[in-house]
Amino acid sequence: MKTIGVISDTHGLVRPEAKDALSGCDAIVHAGDIGSPGVLDELREIAPLTVIRGNIDKWANSLPDTEVLRVENRYLYILHDVNELDLDPGAAGFDVVISGHSHRPTVGEKNGVLYLNPGSAGPQRFTLPVAVAKLEVSEQHLDAEVIELAV
């Protein structure tokens, strides 16, 4: 079993609470709206990093808009805004869709596919929680947990 830390919408801020929550993960996924390159450097110090560009990341032209990650023979599809999903993830063979953008942490299942949005780990907006997520992945098991950060 592998543990994947999931973070999004940092907007240039990597909180110590987020680093603590992601510590010990086998890998980290950043689902966009990074804010600055320093965020990526800090996350790479914790674990191997897969990252995609969000709508505010104009500086990050070399980063992809979407990414596919294979973990324990499971396939994760990563994009920033789930409303821009232009494929049927189940038909395409994906087990998990990871997104960000809304700043609302959510975990749900649709047609056999797990959908995970860790929420925003950056500056707090409105009354939305500041959060990250962990995804436990094995060939037999998928489990996602949102972790609200005490900030």
Please compute Rg for the chain using Cα positions. 14
Q: Find the mean pLDDT for residues 84-103.
A: 97
pTM value is 0.97
Cβ proximity of 89 and 77 under 8 Å:
yes
| pLDDT for the residue 151 | 82
CATH number at residue 73: 3.60.21.10
Closest-CA residue to 8 (of 56, 48, 73): 56
- The domain of 7 spans 2-148
pLDDT higher than threshold 90 for residue 95: yes
Which amino acid is present at 81? D
pLDDT higher than threshold 90 for residue 125: no
Residue 145 pLDDT grade (very low, low, confident, very high; cuts 50, 70, 90): very high
| pLDDT for the residue 141 | 94
Q: Is 9 helix (H, G, I), strand (E, B) or coil?
A: coil
Cβ proximity of 33 and 58 under 8 Å:
no
The strand pair at 66-71 and 74-79 is best described as antiparallel
Residue 126 pLDDT grade (very low, low, confident, very high; cuts 50, 70, 90): confident
Domain count along the chain: 1
CA distance 15 to 38: 12
CA distance 63 to 67: 9
| pLDDT for the residue 20 | 97
CA distance 151 to 142: 28
| pLDDT for the residue 97 | 98
Condensed to tens digits (0 to 9), the pLDDT of residues 39-92 reads 999 999 999 999 999 999 999 999 999 999 999 999 999 999 999 999 999 999
